[in-house]
Structure 1
């Protein structure tokens, strides 16, 4: 995996999944009912049910995931979604399963990287067993503080350059 640098004034979606098993979740036997529209893809659909599904999705869920339960005529939606999937108009979110007896935990949140520190803006609080009771020793804390200050200075310089470039053009 390539190196990644985090900078101030960036926003990230953090998606953490853990398993007591081998971590290879596989699509299960359950039918997929959650989809997301691929807005970059266009295709002239043949079936009336498919056109109904696509028009409803474009009106109500143009960029967000949706479930077939949101449609008034769920039977028609089940029929129409197939052609939409075949031509890449929607992306399915299949139900993933781990081996029987294994446990899976999935946590999502959105974080902001600000000069005052990292701020979590969405997501539930983590259970207490994820909280670390250990604190870094004084020497490690000092090094971490110095690194944070250096990164903050670099970010300020970069922001100043961007601002200067914008005002000059």
Structure 2
């Protein structure tokens, strides 16, 4: 090419930048004669991944909301000063990273169960209203738990019957079939929900009231639970935690109809450690001062729960039983064929997890009371009747599940509501 020909060639220019959504045509290119002009392909807008949101009522399973298998962390709380060195320990931090990264380990399973709990309870707290039957309330809660945890036999599901204990009844009430009880505007309602994933249980409870008479009772119990969480940690002594809970709880009073009632901590019910497929582990957390010098240990997790009462602060069994749990294999062959059959159903569907009569109904069992009572009388199944303070008193409950990690404690069930 001669110098004159070079001067006649068009200068090369950089192409103009356009957004992906622009549909501007490319300017004509200079091409050799006889060749077809190439058309520039238009860029298609990038498709955004659809965002899955929870439905109302909640029915979208957690694995669809968190496809990575990583679930929200609970509230992280530093250990008290006597355990401060754990935060800077390279070994402890390494051990914790290993646990965090393994989706089959305790952390993600508990967090998945806790996130189910948070979403279900927040829906329940908005929708539970006076005038509803106990049965409609419990079905609203348990249908949501089953959907969100994506119930799968003993791999994931409800960890224990949903407690809906009212007023002087503090625990272990859930409606049986045919229950006609209706929530009243002046009731104090305890809602205790359990969720498990691969046997790792999230146990958390709250109390609702619908008029202000017992606001201070609820505040006393919630504060006591938070103090119990604050005092918990690696090497913390159980009896000392109980003393702190009692001191906080019993600093409150409730005025009802011009009469003042001291709030009393329950002396014969406790929080507890949690073990795989076992809601009540071997370490109880008392709500009153005791001489128990047993220590909490790294890697354990606990249900820190407190009950307060305007009554005597002591619970007795009474009322129609709904809660049961398998205890052990029979020492001798069962004489009732119906009991043998029912025991197989219990072992297959619940294992060591507590169950209630409604759950047996749901599985298609019928006319099973004789067989169930026989299993109880033989010590194979344990019954848990409702627990009540004196008539006319009011009780409240708050509870969180905490995990004692190597470098901190995690309140896995903590949410914006409590």
Q: TM-score, normalised by structure 2?
A: 0.28
Q: SS where residue 122 of structure 1 aligns?
A: coil
* 2:334 paired residue number: 45
Contact kept in structure 2, 1:11 and 1:111, CA below 8 Å: yes
CA distance in 1, matches of 2:399, 2:416: 10
Distance 1:78 1:102 in 2: 32
| Aligned CA distance change for structure 1 residues 49 and 104 (closer, same or farther; 3 Å) | same
Provide, for residues 97-151 of structure 1, a one-character-per-residue CA deviation record: whole Å limited to 9, x for no partner: 2222211112333211224422112377775xxxxxxxxxxxxxxxxxxxxxxxx
Distance 1:15 1:41 in 2: 33
Alpha-carbon spacing, 1:42–1:118, altered in 2? closer, same or farther (3 Å): same
State the 1:2 CA deviation.
2.1
Of residues 306, 313, 331 in structure 2, which corresponds to 1:23? 313
- Cα 1:61–1:43 change in 2 (3 A) is farther
Distance 1:40 1:34, change over 3 A: same
| 1:2 alignment counterpart | 292
Structure 1 CA distance, aligned partners of 2:292 and 2:388?
A: 29
Are positions 1:70 and 2:364 aligned together? no
Q: Which residue of 1 aligns with 2:385?
A: 94
Name the CA distance, whole Å, in 2 between partners of 1:4 and 1:10: 13
Structure 1, unaligned runs of 5 or more: 128-169
Residue of 81, 90, 111 corresponding to 2:372? 81
Higher helix fraction (1 or 2)? 1
Maintained 8 Å contact 1:39/1:62: no
Matching residue of 2:16: none
Q: SS of 1:74's equivalent?
A: coil
Alignment of 1:103 onto 2:394: yes
Q: 1:48 to 1:123 in 2, by over 3 A?
A: farther
Q: Once the two structures are superposed, what CA deviation does each residue of 1:71-106 show, in whole Å capped at 9, x if it has no partner?
A: 22332x211111101110011111112222211112
Aligned length: 125
Deviation at 1:32, TM superposition (A): 1.0
User: Rg larger in 1 or in 2?
Assistant: 2
Seen in structure 2, the aligned counterparts of structure 1 residues 101 and 125 have a Cα distance that, compared at 3 Å, is farther
Name the counterpart of 2:350: 61
**Given the two structures, how large is their TM-score scaled by the length of structure 1?**
0.64
CA contact (8 A) 1:68 1:74 kept: no
SS in 1 for 2:412: strand
Q: Root-mean-square deviation (CA), in Å?
A: 2.3
Gaps of at least 5 residues in structure 2 are 1-290
Counterparts in 2 of 1:139-154, with a 5 A limit? Answer: none
CA separation of 1:22 and 1:125: change in aligned 2, threshold 3 A? farther
Secondary structure in 1 aligned to 2:391? coil
Matched position secondary structure for 2:400: strand
Change (3 A) 1:124 1:86: farther
Asked if the contact 1:33/1:67 (under 8 Å) is kept, the reply is yes
Equivalent-residue separation in structure 1 for 2:416 and 2:380 (angstroms): 35
1: CA distance, partners of 2:295 / 2:348: 38
Change (3 A) 1:40 1:54: closer
- The 2-side partners of 1:125 and 1:47 are apart by 50
Partner of 1:113: 404
